[in-house]
Amino acid sequence: MSDEFDKNRDYRFTKAHFAYLSGLVEREIGIQLPEHKERLVYGRLVHRLRDLRLSDCEDYIRLLEDPSSGEMREFLNAVTTNVTSFFREPHQWKALRERLLPELLATKSEKRLRIWSAGCSTGQEPYSIMMCLSEFFDESWDVQLLATDLDTKVIETAQEAIYKEELVNRFTQAQKRRWLFRGTGEHRGMVKVRPELRTNVTFKPLNLLKPWPFAGPFDMIFCRNVMIYFDKQLMFDLVRRFEEKLTPGGLLLVGHSESLVGGDFRLESIARNTYRMPPVTERAA
């Protein structure tokens, strides 16, 4: 009996190939790939095989195992899901504008704000954050946003900050005028984020499962729709690491299907998918 998934495919792809690759992805970046994702893995693998002009999966796996090939990076880039949008999860932006940012502003004794967008994909999340913050923190504030993602390709796109016009069609006219350039000539139909929004954003590649080479702390950490692909234990471990990087009163924002229920955290739930570190309280002598 063959353990091949589908004999009519261009490349022989077996259960053993899938088990090897899905195991590697989970070990390296935490993303779980159950067997029903086999088609997706095959589809992304085929792109790599074609680009590299390889004729079978065995050759590909050998290449992947050779650290000098750099293929591990390409493969991990290929298996990530980078779906994102400007002002995704509207309820969180509403809560930020109406309550959470004014509250944060009131607690700050110095005009300094540090934010981390962890799993920033192609940049729509960090640029949405900067737009939202501009309504509360004027130029006298020192605001810095660190935006990281495992996928080096999306980081490049985020840094370019060029998007199809249809991706900003929910912006108001005023927002478009203030924050975007309209493309002309060969860039017709595209927009570019203005430098005012980009200068205080630093993009860096980072695998969240590895050590984090920065001290923090952050007033806000956005890690939305990233941990959804991780198992619960890994997600909880990550949230504990985020707690260590948050200021007292700092916020953690997660995605709509990322529940912290069942974990033992210091974070308190303060709005849908939004958590806050308890502020420092004076201890009795």
Active site residues per annotation: 44, 149
Q: For residue 62, what are its two tokens?
A: 């050998």
Residues 201-220 that bind ligand SAM (CB under 6 A): 207-209
**Is residue 25 near ligand SAM by the rule CB under 6 A?**
no
**Is residue 251 near ligand SAM by the rule CB under 6 A?**
no
Of the candidates 205, 168, 208, 199, the residue with the CA atom closest to the CA atom of residue 85: 168
Q: For residue 265, what are its two tokens?
A: 């955290």
Considering beta carbons, is residue 22 or 225 the nearer one to ligand SAM?
A: 225
Of the candidates 213, 195, 202, the residue with the CA atom closest to the CA atom of residue 146: 202
Question: Minimum distance from CB of 13 to ligand SAM (Å)?
Answer: 23
Quick one: which segment of 1-9, 25-33, 165-173, 191-199 binds ligand SAM (CB under 6 A)?
25-33
Determine contact, residues 246/218, Cβ cutoff 8 Å: yes
Report the first-to-last Cα separation within the chain, whole angstroms: 73
Q: How far apart are CA 62 and CA 69, in angstroms?
A: 10
Q: Is 98 helix (H, G, I), strand (E, B) or coil?
A: helix
Considering beta carbons, is residue 153 or 192 the nearer one to ligand SAM?
A: 153
Under 8 Å CB-to-CB from 19, ≥6 apart: which residues?
Answer: none
Quick one: which segment of 27-35, 133-141, 162-170, 194-202 binds ligand SAM (CB under 6 A)?
27-35
Question: Minimum distance from CB of 216 to ligand SAM (Å)?
Answer: 16
Question: What mask, x for binding ligand SAM by CB under 6 A, covers residues 83 to 112?
Answer: xx---x------------------------
Considering beta carbons, is residue 82 or 159 the nearer one to ligand SAM?
A: 82
Among 38, 45, 80, 147, binds ligand SAM (CB under 6 A): 80
Residues 121-150 that bind ligand SAM (CB under 6 A): 121, 125, 149-150
Question: Minimum distance from CB of 107 to ligand SAM (Å)?
Answer: 25
Considering beta carbons, is residue 12 or 44 the nearer one to ligand SAM?
A: 44
Sign of CA dihedral 80, 86, 89, 93: positive
Determine contact, residues 236/209, Cβ cutoff 8 Å: no
Question: Minimum distance from CB of 96 to ligand SAM (Å)?
Answer: 14
Q: For residue 211, what are its two tokens?
A: 């050590």
Element (H, E) at 235: helix 232-244
How many CB atoms within 10 Å of residue 262? Answer: 7
Determine contact, residues 145/130, Cβ cutoff 8 Å: yes
Among 115, 119, 218, 276, binds ligand SAM (CB under 6 A): 119
Q: How far apart are CA 85 and CA 163, in angstroms?
A: 11
Among 96, 226, 246, 253, binds ligand SAM (CB under 6 A): 226
Note the residues at the interface with ligand SAM (CB under 6 A): 29-31, 80-84, 88, 119, 121, 125, 149-151, 154, 207-209, 224-226, 255
